[in-house]
Amino acid sequence: MAATQKWVGQPLKRTEDPRLLVGDGVFIADQLFPNLHHAAILRSPHAHARIRSIDASAALRLPGVVGIVTGQDAAKMTRPFAVGVRAPVKYYCMAVDKVRFVGEPVAVVVATNRYLAEDALDLIQVDYEPLSAVVDPERALAADAPLLHEEVGSNLACHRHIVYGDPDAAFADAEVVISERFVFPKYGSTPIETYGVVASFDRTSDVLTIHANFMGPFILHPITARALNLPENKLRLVVPPDIGGSFGIKTGIFPYMSLVGLAAMKTGVTVKWIEDRREHLLASSSGTDRIAYRELAARRDGTILAMRTRWYDNVGGYIRTPEPGCSFRPIGNWFGAYRFQHLEADANVVMTNKSLTGPNRGYACGHLYFEIERMVDLLAEKIGMDPAEVRRRNFIQPGEFPYRTPSGGLYDSGDYPAAFEKALELADYAGLRRSQEQARADGRLFGVGLAVAVDPSVSNMGYITVALDPEIRGRPGYLPKSGALEAATVKVDPLGRIIGVLGSAPQGQGHRTVVAQIIADELGIAPDDITIVDEMDTFTRVWGISSGTYSSRFGSVGTSAAALAARRLRDKLVRFASYLMEVPPESVVWSEGGAHHANNGQVLTLKDLAGRAHWDVESIPPGMEAGLEATAVFAFPEAKAPDLQDRVNSSNTYGFIAEVMAVEIDPDTAAIKILKYVTVHDAGEIINPAIVEGQIYGGALHGLGGALYEELAYDEQGQALAGSFMDYLVPTAHEAVKIDIAHVVSPSPFTTLGAKGLGESSSMTVPAVLANAVTDALKPLGVHIRELPITPSRLWHLMESARSKR
């Protein structure tokens, strides 16, 4: 721990803000480059079709057009991207012989400006042979379903059947068994800044430089390099100073890095492509839609014994890395907050004629907790017990941490009952139940919902290999995958000011502010005296394949690296000072930005030490490396590869969320009004409470969007129905709800500062808590929410059909 925590824990205003507030932010579209040309992408209007031919001759003749790239170029100059499954899916950066979803890139025009490039698109003639399409993942597995990838032989990209414990015995012993089918929709966080890539190829050094608002994981750097047939050290990936939001979505930009890189290599000019909103909604990335079947075995006293689950994850036309993460990212927390020991999971990852999927805030956890928390409520209803009491009876207890889940997760710390009770208290749960009684007596539809979640952060890169059969992972010569690391450097300039260098790629999380707070405490100085640089450049930063700003990483792994680097530097400063003072290091104490002799009052400030070290290198003691800087690479010790029983600690820190929501439903219009929403979080030590609350507000609204408004809908023929913000409904300030937020603090024993990630936060719980609240409100009608989003039209139909049955 730092000697004193003066800055950590304070809601400091962000150092990032002034630039952004006056319009001086530098986003990818704002950057200037020499010899800049602009790309536009021709996209498939068909969900599934064979490309017979492409005639781009008229487009090439258009003045201002400097080149056109088609699938033939991709087939010649690039390779398919590596995929995380055994199925031999050939996923190129653009369609080569077939298109498999509406919006798939078919050709790229490079021209002197974007207007002309789009004009040229209109002149390209593509001869398609339309094929029948399939969008439903269960239907796609039928023997007569249209086949997307002939070389795969079926639309199943990956299948795993995994058993922990003895679920069959648990189900045989159960007093209560519940089963349900759930549908989780396809939605994405649609950052207001779309994708942007600028690529230029230097023929003298053979280096392709790509600027992109990409935020990791940087495993996609080698994957992109290999797809472009480039050695990894010939692909320079630079992230702009500012990224306009991602929420996981910008992971899906890597195929465009390859596509625009290909265009730059072919045309020899610098190529800039800024995705437009239509392209974004049709063909960037979204969360995975899922059909899930779940069974729960329990005793009449509410004890959950086991679950069985089978799901069909719809990854769209091609399985794109890091999918099938939606199936396996939460493997360590598949048991949620509960103590049951037996689970059978049957994961089916299916390709259909929809756009491609990937991480979206709460990756896979929105799905998981929608299912688990609905099941817990169904159990409560079945046995006639208050849903709060059922949860109490099943929580992992505070004395059990660190807690190893049957699937290998290692929950680092927590006090689930305390956080849960705090949420109930804050919401006045008993009072809400009384209001409900009154409301029901008056014929009103008033409901109270609960949901809890174990909030995983910092993915262990090893989890994804669970997609492979243990038989493969057990073969001699198989190279296991594991780990989660982040690096930071802290250095002192010749006048004693501090610069911190990060390899992260934030999209609004305030890394500069937070790291300045941390370093300030570690070195006993003020955050204003620290400059933080966080612009990722694969040629200059220290990074690993897990690097990047995703899976709520920074709050635990990034801050740990920064604190460690600062401590390492402080230790060096102390040793240097003790040498100059001619005393043993033990008699020197670092505080208030200087080295203090424990007894005689002698002080050497940071400035003194910097001056000596920089201007008089001779003063550095023998055996000490010159230079006042320290780099730390923090890697989690528990991020190991999956074992042959499919157990893996899929994340590294695990927070906790407990929520209560009260709603009232208009019986005439089926409109849902949220009356109260309480969320209690345990993210360990909190470094900047303002930033933490901002993440919770934002995460909750993403959950609300997915639960009520947002859906990337398709018709049966695979036509996308939400190609604009007129049809893809992002919640506005008017739809956002008031939130009562509270915290419980269970420091993580695995991070330097005890902090955990919380960037995904309530995005993973709102679908569950809302579905539970709405179901509870509609108890008089017997309506159960099994499918999202709960649109007024859908809800009214459910209510009508329930009314007609009564």
Alpha-carbon distances, residue 153 vs 145, 500, 717 (angstroms): 11, 52, 21
3-state DSSP assignment of residue 570: helix
Determine which residue in the list 735, 745, 780, 786 makes contact with other proteins, applying CB under 8 A: 735
What are the backbone angles phi and psi of residue 630, rounded to the nearest 5°?
-140, 135
668 binds other proteins (CB under 8 A): yes
309 binds other proteins (CB under 8 A): no
Residue ranges in 267-286 that form contacts with other proteins under rule CB under 8 A: 274, 276-278
Residues 195, 280: Cα–Cα separation, whole Å: 8
Q: At closest approach, how far in Å is the CB of 252 from other proteins?
A: 16
Q: Which stretch binds other proteins (CB under 8 A): 22-30, 341-349, 444-452, 633-641?
A: 22-30
Q: At closest approach, how far in Å is the CB of 673 from other proteins?
A: 13
* Contact predicate 748/684, CB 8 Å: yes
193 binds other proteins (CB under 8 A): yes
Q: At closest approach, how far in Å is the CB of 747 from other proteins?
A: 24
Q: Which stretch binds other proteins (CB under 8 A): 442-450, 466-474, 621-629, 700-708?
A: 700-708
Identity of the residue, 63 or 477, whose beta carbon is nearer to other proteins in the bound complex: 63
Q: At closest approach, how far in Å is the CB of 192 from other proteins?
A: 4
Residue ranges in 27-56 that form contacts with other proteins under rule CB under 8 A: 27, 29-30
Identity of the residue, 293 or 697, whose beta carbon is nearer to other proteins in the bound complex: 697
Residues 200, 36: Cα–Cα separation, whole Å: 9
Q: Which stretch binds other proteins (CB under 8 A): 342-350, 546-554, 610-618, 663-671?
A: 663-671
Q: At closest approach, how far in Å is the CB of 799 from other proteins?
A: 10
291 binds other proteins (CB under 8 A): no
Question: For residue 667, what is the DSSP state?
Answer: T
* Contact predicate 216/548, CB 8 Å: yes
Residues 140, 439: Cα–Cα separation, whole Å: 45
Q: Which stretch binds other proteins (CB under 8 A): 26-34, 155-163, 461-469, 531-539?
A: 26-34
Q: At closest approach, how far in Å is the CB of 784 from other proteins?
A: 19
Question: For residue 767, what is the DSSP state?
Answer: H
Q: At closest approach, how far in Å is the CB of 504 from other proteins?
A: 14
Identity of the residue, 527 or 544, whose beta carbon is nearer to other proteins in the bound complex: 527
Q: Which stretch binds other proteins (CB under 8 A): 436-444, 467-475, 488-496, 504-512?
A: 504-512
Q: At closest approach, how far in Å is the CB of 720 from other proteins?
A: 11
Q: At closest approach, how far in Å is the CB of 310 from other proteins?
A: 29
698 binds other proteins (CB under 8 A): yes
Q: At closest approach, how far in Å is the CB of 123 from other proteins?
A: 12
* AA identity, residue 559: T
Buried b (16+ CB within 10 A) or exposed e, 87-98: bebbbbbbbbeb
Determine which residue in the list 288, 355, 509, 652 makes contact with other proteins, applying CB under 8 A: 509
Residue ranges in 510-549 that form contacts with other proteins under rule CB under 8 A: 510
* Contact predicate 39/113, CB 8 Å: no
**Pairing outcome for strands 270-274 and 740-743:** unpaired
Identity of the residue, 397 or 724, whose beta carbon is nearer to other proteins in the bound complex: 724
Determine which residue in the list 2, 16, 152, 504 makes contact with other proteins, applying CB under 8 A: 16
Alpha-carbon distances, residue 502 vs 512, 534, 651 (angstroms): 9, 5, 21
Q: Which stretch binds other proteins (CB under 8 A): 15-23, 296-304, 342-350, 598-606?
A: 15-23
* Other Cβ atoms closer than 10 A to 191: 20
Kindly state the tokens that stand for 94: 């653009």
Determine which residue in the list 475, 738, 805, 806 makes contact with other proteins, applying CB under 8 A: 738
**Pairing outcome for strands 36-43 and 105-111:** antiparallel
Residues 768, 764: Cα–Cα separation, whole Å: 8
Q: Which stretch binds other proteins (CB under 8 A): 8-16, 399-407, 572-580, 646-654?
A: 8-16
Determine which residue in the list 9, 10, 20, 585 makes contact with other proteins, applying CB under 8 A: 20
Buried b (16+ CB within 10 A) or exposed e, 524-540: bbebeebebebbbebee
Residue ranges in 677-696 that form contacts with other proteins under rule CB under 8 A: 690-691, 693-694, 696
Residues 544, 553: Cα–Cα separation, whole Å: 14
* Other Cβ atoms closer than 10 A to 114: 17
The secondary structure of the chain in percent helix, strand, coil, rounded to multiples of 5, reads 30, 25, 45
Q: Which stretch binds other proteins (CB under 8 A): 87-95, 203-211, 506-514, 547-555?
A: 506-514
What are the backbone angles phi and psi of residue 779, rounded to the nearest 5°?
-55, -40
Q: At closest approach, how far in Å is the CB of 25 from other proteins?
A: 5
Residue ranges in 93-152 that form contacts with other proteins under rule CB under 8 A: 114-115, 118-119, 122
The torsion defined by the Cα of 598, 602, 608 and 609, in degrees rounded to 10, comes to -30
439 binds other proteins (CB under 8 A): no
- Sequence-distant (≥ 6) Cβ neighbours of residue 324 within 8 angstroms: 84, 85, 157, 158, 313, 315, 347, 349, 464, 467
Give just the sign of the alpha carbon dihedral 790, 795, 801, 802: positive
Identity of the residue, 734 or 806, whose beta carbon is nearer to other proteins in the bound complex: 734
Q: Measuring CA to CA, which residue among 743, 771, 734, 746 is closest to residue 678?
A: 743
Q: At closest approach, how far in Å is the CB of 45 from other proteins?
A: 13
740 binds other proteins (CB under 8 A): no
Identity of the residue, 81 or 728, whose beta carbon is nearer to other proteins in the bound complex: 728
What is the secondary structure of 317-346 as a DSSP string?
Answer: SS--TTTTHHHHTTGGGTTTTB---EEEEE
Residue ranges in 598-637 that form contacts with other proteins under rule CB under 8 A: none
730 binds other proteins (CB under 8 A): yes
Residues 769, 660: Cα–Cα separation, whole Å: 7
Q: Which stretch binds other proteins (CB under 8 A): 88-96, 260-268, 655-663, 790-798?
A: 790-798
* Number of separate helices (H) and strands (E) present in the chain: 20, 28
Determine which residue in the list 58, 495, 526, 721 makes contact with other proteins, applying CB under 8 A: 721
Q: Which stretch binds other proteins (CB under 8 A): 10-18, 220-228, 391-399, 601-609?
A: 10-18
Identity of the residue, 38 or 473, whose beta carbon is nearer to other proteins in the bound complex: 38
Identity of the residue, 11 or 749, whose beta carbon is nearer to other proteins in the bound complex: 11
Identity of the residue, 320 or 702, whose beta carbon is nearer to other proteins in the bound complex: 702
Q: At closest approach, how far in Å is the CB of 484 from other proteins?
A: 23
23 binds other proteins (CB under 8 A): yes
Q: How far is CA 515 from the centre of its chain?
A: 21
Identity of the residue, 17 or 175, whose beta carbon is nearer to other proteins in the bound complex: 17
Beta strands in 254-329 (DSSP E): 270-274, 289-298, 304-314
The torsion defined by the Cα of 293, 323, 549 and 213, in degrees rounded to 10, comes to -130
Q: At closest approach, how far in Å is the CB of 97 from other proteins?
A: 27
Residues 679, 740: Cα–Cα separation, whole Å: 6
Determine which residue in the list 44, 78, 155, 190 makes contact with other proteins, applying CB under 8 A: 190
Site string for other proteins, 217-246 (x = CB under 8 A): -------------------------xxxx-
Q: Measuring CA to CA, which residue among 300, 218, 225, 302 is closest to residue 262?
A: 225
Q: At closest approach, how far in Å is the CB of 88 from other proteins?
A: 36
793 binds other proteins (CB under 8 A): yes
| Number of residues located near other proteins, criterion CB under 8 A | 79
